A and B are shown apart, each in its own frame.
Chain A
Amino acid sequence: MSKYKVNLKINNIAVSVDEGTTILEAARKLNFNVPTLCNHDDLCVAGNCRVCVVEQKGARLLPASCATPVSEGMEIMTNSMKVRQARKHIVELLLAEHNADCTKCFKNGHCELQEISNEYRIGDHVFIDLVKEKDKVQDISSPSIAKDDSKCIRCQRCVRTCAQLQHVSALAVTHKGNEMRISTFLDKPMNDVVCTNCGQCINRCPTAALTERTYIDQVFDVIYDPNKFVVVQTAPATRVAIGEEFGLEPGTRVTGKMVAALRRLGFDKVLDTDFTADLTIIEEGNELLRRLKEALVDGKDVALPMMTSCSPGWIKFQEHLYPEFLDNLSTCKSPQQMFGPLAKTYYAEKVNKNPADMIVVSIMPCTAKKFEADRPEMRGSGYKDVDFVLTTRELGMMIRQAGIDFNKLDNEGYDSILGESTGAAVIFGTTGGVMEAALRSAYEIVTGREVPFSNLNIKPVRGMEGVKEAAIKIKDVLPEWKFLEGVELRVAIAHGLANAKILMDRVKDGTANFHFIEIMACPSGCIGGGGQPIPTNMEIRKKRAAGIYDEDEHMTLRKSHDNPEVTEIYKSFLHEPLGHRSHDLLHTHYYPRKRH
């Protein structure tokens, strides 16, 4: 559809923009910045904070520029007397209901309200302080997310995130007028509601109303404890995002610097979740092949399509909303939770450490991982498998606190063992990555040949489309996989729980016919995780994804089954995929949860 051009003037400068453009977008096109709070690139328009009001010649009201489309002949002033007064008033009002203890705040220096307040030099308290004492009590019931109503400015970004991007609606607007607030079903604590701990709300909260539960001090404590042997694992998506904490472009590959920083922070060994990502592919790939064999050869009633289980937000979503499909979830633990028990058994033995004295810390792009590590079934080693989970942002904070000049660090490599990985593991960090890694290995296991895609890049499963589908014809198989000859393996990928719901509803009503489904709770997968640097938007996530694929291409090994450490662990410890030890340490089960 061709778009009409609309001519208007902003601050007396003529501009011509597409029909449907907002005043805000048109102003930014002319390099006039208009402050915003409730507006977010990823979310539908709200127009409720009113910080972005502008003056329109001839109009009685000041339109919200984020919510008002341009019209022909419009004359807009973005900084008139009226606008300045109104905008100052609005910021002052927001501050009056905001617990502005900025210097003691977790988001100090990273708060959008603080930024605007600073810009307008809001001085003395003009208006009466309205913060309620009861709101100053944080909800820290969830191991992942802390909610502080006294910091909330009611912009509803979190509400829109939870509903629009995630289709969870754990957070919603309740009450009205002076009692209006963002709350949960029946005001229950966050750990008692449908919240999946994905943390997408945190990524979009302009203030500190929603933050991750932070465990930095606990981690420093164990680092400084001479009796503890502290190992750290880093998730795939952290290495293309942590640079943003130090002013680098999104997607900058800083794996080597991150490793160096972790070593300087005092971790005894710096290991890689990518190792267990490779291991996941072997276990999960074999699980898929076993399910297919049971279905096609043995005629058993096997739960298909099989669904990935790497994303703990997605797991909890499934437990709440689609409990009837729990058997379809791969029983494989996520790479983080495979790493924990292996560190405290196999690795402890290799390095001759008592697992009781060993602490496993993980650096994750994710807040749901904090919840996952706390799940009671995640104690396969006999201890809590993963002791502490920090987000990418928390690692950034630790590095700054320790006075490490991140950007000047020389690259260093991971320790061995549990440090070796392949490109297949790195791409776990973006949507479609687990699928691509699984296909690279499964296809080769079955046919003895590499996947028929140029340079191993399985393009059909890549990209930011909400739900992706692909099919691979399996031909000329090895003798033991005869039953797969000619089978078209159909796969689907969804990222963001709203897309997961679209896909799951199709599975539920029988209109989808897939063998294998990858789902990641967060938009764009782990690179867009709830623990990643703020801000986030599609452009940033695309850059991070590009970083991930770049990292993959630069790896010597790019298929999980080529990882020599993986080969070794099967030889000396696990013996076979889906074997007894794997069952004890690497696989888990799921529980239905209530809808609310």
Chain B
Amino acid sequence: MENKIKKVDLIFEKVDHLAILDKSFKRTSDEIILDVIDSGLRGRGGAGFPTGLKWKFAKNEEADQKYVICNADEGEPGTFKDREILTQVPEKVLAGMALCGKAIGATEGYIYLRAEYNFLLPMLHEKMKEFNKQMKEHNFEFTVFVRSGSGAYVCGEETALMESMEGHRGEPRNKPPFPTQHGYLGKPTSINNVETLVFALMIANLGPQMFKDLGTFDSRGSKVFSISGDTPKAGIYELELGMSLLDFVNEFGDGDTKAVQVGGASGFCVARKHFKETLIGFEGIPTGGSMMLFNSSRSMYNILHDYLEFFEEESCGQCTPCRVGCQQLLKGIESVKKGVKPPPYLETLQKLSDTMKIASKCGLGQSVGNPFNSIINNFREEIIY
């Protein structure tokens, strides 16, 4: 079989991060930002907001202080690539933050590290000290700090993350105002995923063209995937965006792949019959990197049940659609399974998940409908019987 999957090595490639910063700090903010905009880089945490635009918005705000935050609260089930990036190339992450700082006019950067990654703290503190020293030596006005989360999934949501950093309960804020206007401590803040910052650094290093040459029109470049489930090749891979799910499964599946959950628990479930026409990228199904493969031995009811249990517990509980909706979806499929509610009750629940999608306060509640509807649409009989 022809291998249509293209492996790329931008993220983990060792580079002289200080040389890149030396070069970049001689340029203007606008030049740095224009390159990032030109490259087409979109946020690698999953939501896919154009990174250059975010930096431009933050840059255009007038403020006495601005902040860079590196979102390392990698909490999406099935995603583990940021851990690896932080372990392998921490100095590239730090340099990416400094680059962002230079671009938007921030002199302080914070890594928000998920509580479960606290084992990385001693190493990160070492790297941070060394990096801050290097910044001083090179006369770059930028200091990095590391903050540890407390274990809530919702704190990966950018505004909940900032609330958490400020010492408050991790609850998402109302938007607008957006973090680029009113972020950490009320100051303009650019908050970017670990991987995004490293890509930005590589774009500063190699120019936007090499990035544009990869991927598709809407999904430029490559992406680090966390591949897990029923696969003989579980692990972390940097792949060009825009591949079809069929090609992906041919490369990574175990020959018996029934479905792939693209984008983690909050992503979409794609059944075998749709592999061919499903493209991995913003034109098709975007992902923060998580690809979970399921073979025919798996019960889709159990999978959905697990996801809903996760959301029921990890909702911050603040807004009604998410707090109560998650409980209803979970109890609802249990009732249908037990025969307490009739099968058409699933349609009632799907309508509810549509409301959650548009009326919830943050991305958590808004995305519960993704796995719910895609699993039920594809595997309705497995949920009922």
Contacts and interface: CB of A to CB of B under 8 A. Distances in A.
B167 interface: no
A178 B323 contact: yes
Contacts of B107: none
B328 A93 contact: yes
A561 B352 CA distance: 67
A177 B323 contact: yes
Interface in A63-86: 64, 67-69, 82, 85-86
B174 A177 contact: no
Interface string B352-369: 100100111100001000
Interface residues of B, number: 35
A82 B360 CA distance: 14
Interface residues of A, number: 37
Nearest to B310: A177
A180 B352 contact: no
B176 to A, nearest CB: 7
Contact of A50 (B169, B176, B360): B360
B319 interface: yes
A272 to B, nearest CB: 46
B45 interface: no
A48 B325 contact: no
Contacts of A50: 319-321, 359-361
Nearest to B331: A128
A48 B174 CA distance: 9
Contact of B317 (A53, A126, A175): A175
Interface in B308-352: 311-321, 323-328, 331-332, 335, 348, 351-352
B74 to A, nearest CB: 19
Given A64-B174, A127-B328, A128-B332, A89 B317 contact: no
B324 A97 contact: yes
Most buried by A among B152, B314, B327: B327
A176 B174 contact: no
A100 to B, nearest CB: 14
Interface string A137-176: 0000000000000000110100000000000000001011
Contact of A130 (B169, B174, B331, B361): B331
Main secondary structure of the interface of B (DSSP, over half): helix
A53 B359 contact: yes
A47 B361 contact: yes
Contacts of A555: none
A154 B317 contact: yes
B370 to A, nearest CB: 13
A72 to B, nearest CB: 13
Residue among B171, B318, B335 with the most chain A CB within 10 A?
A: B318
B174 A180 contact: no
Contacts of B270: none
B154 A176 contact: yes
A90 interface: yes
Contact of A82 (B315, B316, B323, B358): B358
Given A128-B328, A173-B317, A68 B176 contact: yes
Contacts of A180: 315-318, 323
A89 B352 contact: yes
A176 B324 contact: no
B152, B169, B326, B332 — most chain A CB neighbours (10 Å)? B169
Given A50-B360, A86-B359, A93 B324 contact: yes
A49 interface: yes
A296 interface: no
Given A45-B174, A48-B361, A177 B312 contact: yes
Interface in B78-128: none
Contacts of B328: 93, 96, 127-128, 130
Contact of A93 (B311, B325, B335): B325
Interface in B297-317: 311-317
B174 A178 contact: no
A94 interface: yes
Interface string A103-143: 00000000000000000000000111010000000000000
Contacts of A60: 358
Given A48-B320, A127-B328, A176 B152 contact: yes
- A-B complex: 3 closest residue pairs judged by Cβ atoms: A180-B317, A93-B324, A67-B174
Interface of B: 152, 154, 169, 171, 174, 176, 311-321, 323-328, 331-332, 335, 348, 351-352, 355, 358-361, 366
Given A45-B174, A90-B320, 13 more contacts: A48-B361, A50-B319, A50-B359, A64-B361, A82-B358, A89-B355, A93-B325, A96-B328, A126-B348, A127-B324, A156-B318, A178-B317, A180-B323
